[in-house]
Chain A
Amino acid sequence: MDTKRLVLIFLGMWAVTYFPRFLPLAVLSRVKIPGRLMTWLSYLPAAILSALIFPGALVRGGRIDPWPGNPAVWALLVSFFVAVKSRNLILTMVCGGLVMFIGQAVF
């Protein structure tokens, strides 16, 4: 692949990646945020995180596979269980990763 063309494409990718990250922060951190928007924003992290996990973790072979034959289903269940019980991030990651590892050998 032509390096010069790639570099130009990457700079384009930079721009469209950077501005969605920058503009809301730059604008909203400089204005007084109305109460309702503030309440809405307070629910946004929980909503984003849960929306990211499920379709993301359960993709297999380019398709959503939410059924028990997918090791990620079990790894995710164990991750939630450990997270609720321990509230320890690293322990959750280790247990989730371990189940994923074993699960791939089984399924």
Chain B
Amino acid sequence: MEYPSDARTMIRRGFADALPIIIGYVPMGAAYGILARQSSMEFFPAVFMSLVVFAGASQFIAVGLLSGGATALEVVGATLFINLRHILMSASLSPYFQKAPRKALPFVAWGVTDETFAISIGRYPAGEGDYRYALALHYTAYVSWVSGTVLGAMAGSLVPPALQSSLEFSLYAMFAGLVVLQVTDRFHLTVVFFSAAAATLFSFFMEGTWPVIIAAVLGATLGLALESLMGKPGKEKAGS
């Protein structure tokens, strides 16, 4: 394996990059834990769901469906539906794992969430991340998600609701910060505005995760079309 940095640097960077995710995942996991317990789920299954599923949005929805008496098929179907967007994230990570050991991939893949993807995708093109980086980042995020769940499921409520929703919002602020770093040229900027507008528009009349998936596919296609028609854009703003 040839990597530009040694294992220790990669693993350290993975831990360091997990910090913004921890800030958001602990309160978010706690919110899920509280909701699960309030919907009369026992402590063990509430924590077990975070341990095996590790997918924020679908866990919240599953709690809602289960307490409304949904069938197993309905819950699993909704989960599949919500998590289909990860196909796109997994695909866009793939060019950077060509040299990674085959054995590592199933473990890397397990930790691909919206947040770990958002943080890490800026690292790989510059060679600043590899499978060891990904493992450190993904599993730190996982531990903070499960820890948050345990706290919430035990405590019932932790902080005032306004603080709770502000902490949860900080994950969106993180996405905003990361999307800004993605804008390296005018084509990417166009894609960002287009996808944001498309997703918001589709959300008015489409359910679940479809607005995100369709808007992202159309947005990337727009980027490809622009680049095919007008050639590679010059790097106007240096990303980091």
- Chain A residues at the B interface, C-beta cutoff of 8 Å: 1, 3, 5-18, 20-30, 33, 36, 38-58, 64, 66, 72, 75-76, 79-80, 82-84, 87-90, 92-98, 100-101, 104-105
Contact of B79 (CB < 8 Å), options: A16, A23, A47: A16
A79 engages B76 (CB within 8 Å): no
Contact of A25 (CB < 8 Å), options: B76, B108, B175, B183: B108
Residues of A within 8 Å of B42, CB to CB, are 1, 3
Residues of A within 8 Å of B202, CB to CB, are 55
B45 engages A17 (CB within 8 Å): no
Which of B54, B94, B198, B228 counts the most chain A CB atoms within 10 A?
Answer: B94
Q: How far is the CA of A55 from the CA of B209 in the complex (A)?
A: 10
Which of A8, A16, A52 counts the most chain B CB atoms within 10 A?
Answer: A52
B212 engages A52 (CB within 8 Å): yes
B198-217: CB near A (< 8 Å → 1, else 0) gives: 11101110000001100111
Residues of B within 8 Å of A43, CB to CB, are 187-188, 191, 219-220, 222-224, 227
B62-82: CB near A (< 8 Å → 1, else 0) gives: 100010000010011001100
The verdict on B158 contacting chain A, using a C-beta distance below 8 Å, is no
Q: How far is the CA of A31 from the CA of B93 in the complex (A)?
A: 13
**Chain B contact surface mostly:** helix
The verdict on B180 contacting chain A, using a C-beta distance below 8 Å, is yes
Leading 8 A-B pairs by shortest Cβ distance: A96-B173, A43-B223, A47-B219, A28-B94, A16-B80, A51-B199, A22-B109, A92-B177
How many chain B residues have a CB neighbour from A under 8 Å?
101
* A17-B79, A100-B165 known; A29-B94 Cβ under 8 A: yes
Q: How far is the CA of A9 from the CA of B79 in the complex (A)?
A: 10
B170 engages A53 (CB within 8 Å): no
Contact of B84 (CB < 8 Å), options: A20, A51, A94: A20
B106-131: CB near A (< 8 Å → 1, else 0) gives: 10111010100110011000000000
Q: How far is the CA of A15 from the CA of B54 in the complex (A)?
A: 11
State how many angstroms separate the Cβ of A49 from the closest Cβ of chain B: 4
* A25-B97, A75-B169, A80-B176 known; A54-B109 Cβ under 8 A: no
Residues of B within 8 Å of A95, CB to CB, are 173
B44 engages A22 (CB within 8 Å): no
Q: How far is the CA of A7 from the CA of B34 in the complex (A)?
A: 19
A25 engages B109 (CB within 8 Å): yes
Q: How far is the CA of A49 from the CA of B215 in the complex (A)?
A: 10
